[in-house]
Amino acid sequence: MNLLLKWLISAAAILISAYIIPGIMVTGFWAALWLALFLGVINVILKPILIILTLPINILTLGLFTFVINAGLILLASGVIKGFEVHGFWWAMLFSVVLSIVSYLLHKTFGTK
């Protein structure tokens, strides 16, 4: 039950973030649910591999290169998920930051970790 609540909160955070940022388009709640699932899977499987492969540049930039990795993963998701569109790299990077903040606030509000 907790996993389902986290998934729904993540989808809501995606919809709220897309509403705030003009360069992001999500067509509906189903697209947000699929996007939340896809981002969750690639953050568990692909992101650690990318972090390890880019470790020298990540250390050199004091971890700021992680924002570039997040933006790249969001651009990847926009190519895979129908109903989710990103209008460029910088919009993806801004979406990543806003999504993190909104998701944190929603999870804190509804008591999930």
pLDDT tens figures, 5-42:
999 999 999 999 999 999 999 999 999 999 999 999 99
Return mean pLDDT, the chain. 94
* DSSP assignment letter at 29: H
Write down the domain spans for the chain.
2-110
Q: Looking at the chain, which runs of residues are DSSP E strands?
A: 24-26, 84-86
CA 68 vs CA 95, 96, 112: distances in Å: 12, 9, 27
pLDDT-derived band at 113, boundaries 50, 70, 90 = low
The helix (H) or strand (E) run that includes residue 55 is helix 55-60
| Mean pLDDT score, 37-49 | 96
> What's the token pair of residue 17?
């973030």
Q: Are 112 and 4 in contact (CB under 8 A)?
A: no
pLDDT-derived band at 2, boundaries 50, 70, 90 = confident
